[in-house]
Amino acid sequence: MQTNCARLLGVVGWLTLLATITSASDLYIATNGDDAWSGHLAVPNAARTDGPKATLAGARDAVRTIQNPKSKIQNPATVHVRGGAYRLDTPFVLEPQDSGVTFAAYQKERPVFSGGRVIIGFRRNGKLWEAEIPEVKAGQWYFRQLFINGQRRQRARSPNAGYYRIASQLPGPRDAHGKEIAREKFVFKAGDLQPWARLGDANVVLMHSWETSIHPLKSVDTTSNIVTFAAPLKEWWCIGYWEKNQRYYVENALELLDQPGEWYLNRETGVLSYWPLPGERLGKTEVVAPRLTELVRLVGNADEGRFVQNVTLRGLAFHHSDWVLDPKGNSSTQAAVEVPAAVMADGALNCAFERCEVAHVGTYGVWFRRGCKDCRIQQNRLHDLGAGGIRVGEDKMAKTDAVESSRTLVDNNHIFDGGRVYAAGVGIWVAQSSHNRISHNDIHDLLYSGMSIGWNWGLETNRTHHNIIEFNHVHDCAHGTLSDAGLIYTLGVSPGSVIRNNVLHDIWPYGQPALGWGIYLDGQTGNYLVESNVVFNTLSGGLMFNNGGHAHVIRNNIFAFSANQALWPYSEKRPSALRRNIVFLTQGSLLIPHGERSLNERLAAKEPPGDWDENVYWHAGGVDQLRFYRRTFEEWQEIGLDRHSLIADPLFANAARRDFRLKPASPALKLGFQPIDTSSVGLYGDAAWVNEARHAKCRVRPLPPSPPAPKPLTVNDDFEKTAGGLPPENAHVDGEQSGASIRVSDERAASGKRSLKITDSKTLKPTWQPHFYYTPHLTVGTVRASFDVWLAPEAQFFTEWRDSAAYPQNVGPSIGFNGNGWVSAGGKSLARMPVGAWFHVEIEAVLSKDGPRTFKLTLTPSGGAPQVFSNLPISGTNFHEVHWLGFSSTVEADTAFYLDNLRITQTTKKK
C-alpha cells in the first residue's frame, strides 16, 4: 500500500510539475506592460512590481529562457497579446530556437503592431501643415509613404490624375529585343517636366503594359525637352516597348504639391509638408510615417537544415512598412517579382499565419519564400498594399526538394486594394512551388492580375505542379491601369494542377494592348484541369490558352459576357479537350481569329483538330453572330469539332443579373453539364467575416462596347503631303535601327517632288528589316496594288499580301525585286527592269474563298511597254482576304530603294 501511494504521489507530483511548466510557458503582452516583468500576468499587479511584457521581442526572449535550447522538441508556449497599439522599433524576428511558440491575440482583443511613427509638431504655413523631423534632416530616416487617420496619402505628383505621354524616343545601343532605343532618357512634351529644386528626389514612374518601373532623375533639360534617369532601365523593358507615346507620371517634388491630400518630405531640411483634406484639423489628425521596411521575419535556413517549426501568429495586425528605392531605379519583369514582403518567412515548417491583418505597407503582404513546407496562411485580411498580397516560392527553381517551398495552404483570405506603389503586384503569387492549395480567397481591386501561378514561359522542367486553385472569388482587377492580365494567370507545364469552382469576373485592362482574361493560361502552360468555374464580364474573353500551351482538360465551365471575344485558343502544340462548357455571348466574337493558325496547320498535316464536344454556344444577337473562326457551325463540325455540341440558349435563371443557375429545361443538362453551386465560393466562417466580401454584393456592370470591325483601308499616296523625314501615313514602320530608315525623301520622285526612301544597313538584323506595312482589311472583290519603284544597286526587297491566318499559309501575291533589276514570283524570274530608273508595278487578285488561286502582275518600265504576267499561282492555302500588305528590304548592304505613287484599291465589290 505504501509503495502504491508513493507511486501515486510521484505521478501527482510529476503532473503538477508539468502543469507548472506549461503555465510558465504562457506569457502575456500588453501596452501597459514592462519587459522587465515576468509576463505571467495578464494585467499589472496592484503594486506594479509584475505584470505582462511590453513587446513581442520581450516575450520571445522570455520564452527562450524557459525553453531548453538543447532539446529537439520545444515545449509549446503561448504568448497572449492584449489589445491596443504597439510600435515596432525593429522587425520581429523568430528563429529556430523559437519553434513551438504561438503569439495570439488575447480573447477577442485586437492588438496592432505598427512599423511607423506618429508625426507631431505640425504648424500651419498657408494651405500646408509642416513639421520638422530631426532624424530626416540628420540623414537617419527617410520615408516614401504617409498615412493620415489610417488612410494612405499620395506623394506630390503630376499630373494629379491620369498620365503624361512620352513625346518621342531617343536612339541608343541595341538591346535584347533588337531595339536601338535609349534606356535612360526620353523626350517629353514641353512643360510636363521641370528641373525642380531637389530633382534627385523626384521619380518618374513609367507605365509598361503589364509592369511599372520607378526611376530617380538625373537631369531635366527644358531646351531639348530631354529627361535623363540616374541609371538605364533594366534590359527586360525598353522605353516605348508597346506604345511609342508611353504613359508616365512624376512624383516627389515640392513644386508638385498642388492639391489636398498630397505631401512632400524634404530630405535636406527634414520638413514634412502636407496639404490637408477638407475636415482634417490640426491636432486632431493622426499622421503616421513608416520607419521599417519589414515587420515580421521567420529566419530559418533550409539549405543548412535549420528550421523554424510550429510557430503560429494568430489574430495580430501588422501595419505601416515602407518600400525602398534602388538608386538605379526599381523594375521587374512581371508581377512585381523583385518586391519583398512585410512578413517574410524562410525555412519555416508547420508554421501558421492566421486571422491576422497586414495593411498600409509598401510591398507585398506575406511571403513564405524558401524552404517553407506544410504552412498555413489562413483567414487573413491584407489590404492597402504597395504591391500584392501573398507570395509562396521563388522565381528561380530550387535545386533540391528540401529548399523548395511546398504544401502550403492559402485559404480564406481577403486580399484587396493592392498595387499602390507597384501596380503589377498580384493578389496571390506562387512560383516554383508544388502541392499547394489556394482556396476560398476573396481577391479584388488589384491593378494587374488576381493570381499568378508558375514562372516558366517554356516547356522546361519546373517545380510548379499539383497545385489546387478552388472556390476563390477573384474580381474587379486591372482597372484600366495595366494590361495582358488574368484573374487567374498561369505559366509553365503543371501536371496535376487544377483550377475549379472559382467565380471570376470583371477584369478591365489598359488598352495597349487591350488584353484581360478570366483564366489566362499563358506561355506554354500545360496539363491543367480547368473545371466548374464561372467566368464573366471580361474584356478579352473568359479563357485564354496561349502560344504553345497544351494538353489541358477544360470542362463544365461557364464563360459568359465577354466584351470582345469569348475564347482565345491560341496556337496549341498539343490540342486541349474542351467539353461540356457553356459559352454565352451578348456581343463580340466567339474566337480570336489568330487561333485559326494552329488549327489549319494541324488540318494540313492531317492531324486531329482537337477534342471539342458537348458544348453549348449561344449569342443573344442570333445564330448568325456565331462564327467558328471563319467557319459556320456546320463547317466546324465537318472538320471533326463539336459534333455533338449545340447552338442553343442555355436557359440561365437570370443572365442579366449574372445568375447562372440553369433552368430544368436547359439543353446543357442534356449534354451532361453538371450544375455549378457557387454558394460556398469565397470566404467562409462567422457571418461578420463572410460578409466582408460576399460575392452576391458585387454590382452588375454593363460591358463596354466591342471594338468596331476594322474599316477597309485604301491607299493613294504620292508622298507630296508628308514632310520630308517623316514616315508614310497610315503605315506601320519597323526596323529603323543601325542606320536603316523608312522616311519620305525629296531626293527623287517618279512624279512631284517626293517619294518614300527605304534605307537598309549591312549591320541590321534580321535580314527582313526594315519593313513597313498597311492593314487594308479587304475581304471581297478585286483588289489592285500599284506603285513606282527606283532600285539602287544591291537593293533587294519583296512586297507581299497576307491574310490573318498562319504564315506562310496566309501568303497571297508575293513578288521579289533585286539590285540587278530582276523581278520574281514563286521562285521564278519573270522579267528584268532597269536599275537606277523608275518603273511601274501593278498587282491584281480576286478575293474569294472559292475563287481562282492566281494573281496578275504588270511591269511597265518608264517609257516602255507593259509586260503582263497572268495566272501567277498563290501558294498560301489560307489566303482569302488582305489584312496585311507590306514591303520588306532583305539585303545585308548599305543601299536603298524608293517607292512612289503607292495605291491600294478595291476596284469591284462582291454583292
Inter-CA distances, 508 with 162, 246, 420, 450, 505, Å = 16, 19, 17, 12, 10
Kindly state the average pLDDT of the residues 305-325.
98
Share of the chain above pLDDT 90, in %: 84
In this prediction, residue 573 carries a pLDDT of 63
Per the prediction, the chain carries an average pLDDT of: 93
Pairing of strands 376-378, 341-346: unpaired
**What was the pLDDT predicted at 237?**
86
Q: Which of the two residues, 910 and 160, has the higher pLDDT score?
A: 160
Residue 546's pLDDT is 73
pLDDT above 70 as % of the chain: 95
pLDDT at 284 over 50: yes
pLDDT at 51 over 80: yes
Q: 412 and 378 in contact (C-beta within 8 Å)?
A: yes
Region of residue 836 (phi > 0: left; psi between -120 and 50: alpha; otherwise: beta): left
- d(C-alpha 362, C-alpha 144), whole Å: 9
Burial pattern 518-529, b for ≥16 Cβ within 10 A else e, equals: bbbbbbbbbbbb
Q: Of 478, 431, 14, 494, give the one whose Cα is nearest residue 209.
A: 478
Instruction: Give the torsion through C-alpha atoms of 488, 489, 494, 499, to 10 deg.
Output: 10
Give the model's pLDDT for residue 609: 85
Which helix (H) or strand (E) element contains residue 670?
Answer: helix 667-670
User: Rounded to 5 degrees, what are φ and ψ at 57?
Assistant: -65, -40
Answer for the pair 91, 292: CB distance below 8 angstroms, yes or no. Answer: yes
Q: How many CA atoms lie within 13 A of 480 on its CB side?
A: 4
- According to the model, what pLDDT value does residue 60 have? 97
Indicate the helix (H) or strand (E) that contains 801. strand 796-802
- pLDDT, residue 25, reads 75
Q: Which of 385, 382, 429, 381 is nearest to 408 (CA)?
A: 429
Whether the bond between 808 and the residue before it is cis, its omega within 30 degrees of 0, is: yes
Rounded distance between C-alpha atoms, residue 635 and residue 641, angstroms: 9
Digit-coded pLDDT (tens) for 165-212: 999 999 888 777 777 889 999 999 999 999 999 999 999 999 999 999
Residue 394 is predicted with a pLDDT of: 98
pLDDT at 3: 45
Average pLDDT over residues 599-621: 89
Choose between 760 and 809: higher pLDDT.
760
Looking at residue 524, its pLDDT comes to 87
Planar angle of CA 785, 788, 793, nearest 5 degrees: 125
pLDDT at 460: 87
CA distances (Å), 79 to each of 311, 351, 355, in order?
Answer: 11, 15, 16
Q: Is cis: bond before 770, omega within 30 of 0?
A: yes
Neighbouring C-beta atoms of residue 300, cutoff 10 Å: 25
**222 near 316, Cβ under 8 Å?**
no
Q: How does residue 878 score in pLDDT terms, banded at 50, 70 and 90?
A: confident
Task: Choose the weakest-confidence range: 150-154, 319-323, 905-909.
Answer: 905-909
pLDDT for residue 491 is more than 50:
yes
Residue 657 backbone class (left: φ over 0; alpha: ψ -120 to 50; beta: rest): alpha
Identify the pLDDT of residue 70. Answer: 55
Compute the average pLDDT of residues 467-480.
98
Distance CA 803, CA 714 (A): 16
The predicted structure's pLDDT at residue 808: 84
Q: Give the model's confidence band at 655: pLDDT under 50 very low, under 70 low, under 90 confident, else very high.
A: very high
Q: Do the Cβ atoms of 525 and 454 come closer than 8 Å?
A: yes
pLDDT tens column, 423-459 = 999 999 999 999 999 999 999 999 999 999 999 888 8
Mean pLDDT of 283-297: 97
Res 911: pLDDT: 40
What's residue 319's pLDDT?
A: 98
Q: Does the pTM of the predicted model rise above 0.85?
A: yes
Instruction: Supply 325's cell numbers.
Output: 528605392
CA angle 373, 377, 382 (to 5 degrees): 145
pLDDT digits (tens, 9 = 90+) for 131-150: 999 999 999 999 999 999 99
